[in-house]
Structure 1
């Protein structure tokens, strides 16, 4: 087993498959952890940032093909947790540890997830942001 990595922030999500005919894995390692590097800049679709133009805090790094899972996360698998039509599950996205103690004021958590599959079988994804203030952050023992 691995030692805990230190303080992180977690965005808790309830995800439901609203499709009537598709099995969907809304999150998997590829969606959560994909990153590209361009001119010393990290490009990612899942991250937390303070303010509109601030630098980003990435999700906790986990190897795409590794065997380490985030405790109780349930979607941190290579293929993700597959939901039948109407099924739902609770999960979370954890940040890395860098700079989380310095985050203050308005925050924006960007989330990239799969909402289904096209007729060609390719995943159809969407990106949304959750806006909140640092004063709304609760410690883990206070979260239901």
Structure 2
């Protein structure tokens, strides 16, 4: 995935990220449920809802961390769920940078980047819509 240089982030509103797809299989569900400590038997047939906004955002954060001296922190997540992602589904994430605003605090420049993502299943049906805010700061 293309990395966006820190000094260009504030000008990238509207930038569309590459489309990503994820297979919802038993291993993914079990690992995620174990990581969050949720042993509900419900996760035998569907993904925990909190798994969906986690899909792909490691790659988004990697794109925002354009160099070793750039730190990316999670700021906020807003999610609207439409239906569960079920075992065997293929979930597609289409995302774009909705906005980016620069702030200076304590002599350091930060960029608050809002990424909007839409998740659909293999039938094209909406699964979730998500807005995540990343705080990107250049150290040094």
> TM-score, structure 1 length as denominator?
0.32
Larger proportion of strand: 2
Larger proportion of helix: 2
